[in-house]
Structure 1
């Protein structure tokens, strides 16, 4: 292995937790980017020049983010019969 015997447990602990934190962080970042993308796609349509049809508040964007996150978690947790 790459690590000396005295450092194997510490190195594997750091590597494991870095993987978990990175996995959670990238998942949440992609979900937040997707919610911003959805709002941007909706606001392509304008009610007046320069004003989108959906003027969102921060809590509305957060609720969209939560809905996307819950949907992704439900698909991965309950969708085994449909996923390959």
Structure 2
């Protein structure tokens, strides 16, 4: 019996969720396994500009735009923050 891959769970903060192509439906999006090659591809899929992203974490590790995405796991997208 072959086990089916769960895919990626992508968590967006409220600010990013409002700007994604899925807004305002969810702060999290489930992607099928293999839907996106890397973080840059994921952002394009979500309709988010890379300039909005302050930090990306893939399966607990900080990631860049060129970081390959695993078939399963979690991705957290954090917006740029300003203030003082």
Place the TM-score, normalised by the shorter chain, in its bin: under 0.3
More strand by share: 2
- What's the TM-score, normalizing by structure 2? 0.24
- What's the TM-score, normalizing by structure 1? 0.24
More helix by share: 1
Task: Using CA pairs under 8 Å that are at least 6 residues apart, name the structure with larger relative contact order, 1 or 2.
Answer: 2
